[in-house]
A and B are shown apart, each in its own frame.
Chain A
Amino acid sequence: MILSEIADILDAKVLCGDAMLNECVESAFGADMMSDVLAFVKPHTLVLTGLVNHHVVRTCSMLDVRCVIFVRGKQPTADIVEEAADSDIMLMTTDHTLYESCGMLYGAGLPPVERGI
């Protein structure tokens, strides 16, 4: 699914990396624990989270994640957005909850990550 389509579905606001709106993700994963993100996320996965700190960006940078969507209207600080931009990670924010956001994307056909390597 193309990131611009995801932004439309979630009525999400782009915080940085809008040049990546035409990129595609193959699956999505929602969690507030970065430990779980590290354990589950595969390449070309969209991450949705309600956690807002530098470690979200650092964790996603390690995993080559290209886009993170903050849920529940969470707004990262300017230095977090800057770190994401430096790491070539697109950030968006949506007012929907994690449950709603995942449900909307799942219903639109974006599959979950598969377990195992």
Chain B
Amino acid sequence: MTIYTEEFRVERGNFQEAGSASSKIKRTLKKMGISPAIIREVAISSYELELNLVIHSLGGTLKLSIDGSQLLIISEDMGPGIGDIELVMQEGYSTASESVRAMGFGAGMGLPNIKRHSHEFSIESELNKSTRIVAKYNLI
């Protein structure tokens, strides 16, 4: 039973707004009284996922879902999909452009970092279709 959800559209290439959805999610969790340690972990995953949507996807959504005992951050995009998931999970592998790196991103740390900072992590992707990533946290 889901008791709370928030969903944000994230545009491809919109670095001006990048991070705003994660900031709102962080504020929501603070208001709910979730433990600061969990909030920090969720914020890291949420921000990494939001940046991935801006940098690598054709656009998508970032969603917060809470059902009482579990908190989920779900990223769903409109493509282009990932061909080799094992490869993108390797630290240091990145397809980010030079302009993205000049902004300080694209070190190839994002997905492994989300996995490290979540209690459960899943990634499903189909090349030329879409990618769905879920970072799950136990609240109890």
Q: Which of B6-14, B36-44, B121-129 contacts A (4 or more CB under 8 A)?
A: B36-44
Return chain A residues, CB-CB under 8 Å to B106: 35
Q: A59-B47, A62-B26, A64-B36 are in contact. Are A35 and B104 (CB under 8 A)?
A: yes
Count of B residues near A, CB < 8 Å? 26
Return chain B residues, CB-CB under 8 Å to A32: 104
Contact with A along B93-127 (1 / 0, CB 8 A): 00000000101111111101100110000000000
Q: A32-B104, A51-B104, A55-B18 are in contact. Are A62 and B43 (CB under 8 A)?
A: yes
In this assembly, does A39 line the interface, its C-beta being within 8 Å of a C-beta of chain B? Answer: yes
Q: How far is the CB of A70 from chain B (nearest CB, A)?
A: 13
Return chain B residues, CB-CB under 8 Å to A62: 19, 22-23, 26, 40, 43-44, 46-47
Q: Find B40's partner among A39, A43, A51 (CB 8 Å cutoff).
A: A43
Q: Is the CB of B103 within 8 A of A61?
A: no
Contact residues, A18-41 vs B (CB, 8 A): 32-39
Q: Is the CB of A117 within 8 A of B117?
A: yes
Q: Is the CB of B22 within 8 A of A38?
A: no
Residue from A36, A38, A55, A56 with most neighbouring chain B CB atoms (10 Å): A38
Q: Find B109's partner among A36, A58, A117 (CB 8 Å cutoff).
A: A36
In this assembly, does A63 line the interface, its C-beta being within 8 Å of a C-beta of chain B? Answer: yes
Return chain B residues, CB-CB under 8 Å to A34: 103-105
A55 CA / B55 CA spacing, docked (Å): 13
- What are 14 A-B pairs at a CB distance below 8 A? A33-B105, A38-B110, A39-B112, A43-B40, A55-B19, A55-B103, A55-B104, A58-B23, A58-B47, A59-B19, A61-B19, A62-B40, A62-B43, A62-B46
| B interface residues (Cβ-Cβ under 8 A, vs A) | 15, 18-19, 22-23, 26, 36, 40, 43-44, 46-48, 101, 103-110, 112-113, 116-117
